[in-house]
Amino acid sequence: MNIPLLHRLRANPDQFVPLVDLGSDIDGVRRAIDELESFGFSIEHHPYRGVAYRGHSGRLCPDQIEYELNTERVGRRIAVWNRVSSTNDLAAGASASPANDGLVVLAEEQTAGRGRRGRVWTAPPRACVLMSVLLFPPAELDEVRWLTALGAVAVADVVAECTGREPKIKWPNDVRVDQRKIAGVLVERGAGAVIGIGLNANLLMSDLPDELQASTTSLRALLDRELDRSELAKAIIQRLDYWYLLGRARGAESLSPRWRSLSEHVGNRVHVITRDREWEGVVADHDLIAGLTLALDERRSVQLPSAEILDLKAVDLHGSAGSGNRRDSHGSLGL
Ligand code: BTN
């Protein structure tokens, strides 16, 4: 696909560009435009004024994702599927070969999408970014907790960039805006590490069952327009690559400042379960590695290392733990 031509048209949305301005080989230009249209891009033709870009494709476009991706590790290979069981399955299936380090698997639809704790993750076809990345991390980064944070921070960066809002990460893997889940991360370990990300991109709130509407959002709901999922996927890959390379160069701690700034829990009252007991207090600090500094009362505080935290829930104003989002996010119905 002629992606530079696509970019040229997109640079002036809704403005007609004469075909002669798009290349000296007019037949070649026509063929390239036909190809863009056959892929779902909306282009208007005018007999004298040329062509105008009217809208992105509703399908994921691998060429568009790869064009000027400029990543070093994540996205070295990209596979886009129409329908799969779970993108995590496909990424895990490629883990026998270390040459697949950085492989990204994307799908328009999953028939057996998974969330954390055995929950089901469902999403209407072509509504979300459903992505899995296969990595072979060095020992220091090879921890479910760190890899989950990597996925959550990368997707939160992209949500922040395209909405202008500051999303928050609800421990351990939910990315939320205004306390509504917009993305989730599922890390699974096998021969390699698979980071699965589901981002509610063009999900319509009317697609959701009633009981999830109050706890779920999407980019489309926030911005009141459809987004190009290829561009979103590309941006997530770039952020994953950025943070992963930084982690490899400077260690696990390098993700901490951004993760801390995104933590939904700092300043809030939480209920925490550790291996040997339960705690309740206000989160004074939430470090990715060092864990929680929990103020138990005005005089006492306790440090709970991340590795020891089994569960962490917000305590609502009436004193009970839980956010009310018990069935998890959007399509993740926990069936
Ligand atoms: C959660 O919030 O519980 C995690 C949801 C993760 C969903 C994504 S969608 C792409 C990848 N494939 C899956 O089966 N799950 C993850």
Give pLDDT tens digits for 200-217: 999 999 988 888 889 999
| 10 pLDDT higher than 70 | yes
Between strands 129-135 and 103-110, the pairing is antiparallel
Whether 331 is in the pocket of ligand 1, judged by its Cβ within 6 Å, is no
Nearest ligand 1 atom to alpha carbon 107 = 10
- Residue with the larger pLDDT of the pair 87 and 42: 87
Q: Residue 11, CB half-sphere, CA atoms under 13 Å: how many?
A: 8
Evaluate if residue 335 carries a pLDDT over 80: no
Query: What is the pLDDT, as a whole number, of residue 283?
Result: 94
- % of the chain beyond a pLDDT of 70: 94
pLDDT at residue number 317: 60
**CB 216 near ligand 1, within 6 Å:** no
Q: What structural domains does the chain harbor? A: 3-55 (1.10.10.10), 62-261 (3.30.930.10), 265-314 (2.30.30.100)
248-298, pLDDT tens digit by residue? 999 999 999 999 999 999 999 999 999 889 999 999 999 998 899 999 988
From the CB of 114, is ligand 1 less than 6 Å away? yes
Distance between CA atoms of residues 90 and 80, nearest Å: 11
For the stretch 162-205, pLDDT in tens is 999 999 999 989 999 999 999 999 999 999 999 999 999 999 99
Q: Please name the residues in contact with 83: beta carbons below 8 A apart, sequence gap of 6 or more.
A: 107, 108, 109, 110, 111, 125
- Supply the pLDDT for residue 325: 31
In short, whether 186's Cβ falls inside 6 Å of ligand 1 is yes
CA 230 – ligand 1 centroid, Å: 18
Per-residue DSSP letters for 9-37?
Answer: HHTSTT--B-GGGG-S-HHHHHHHHHHHH
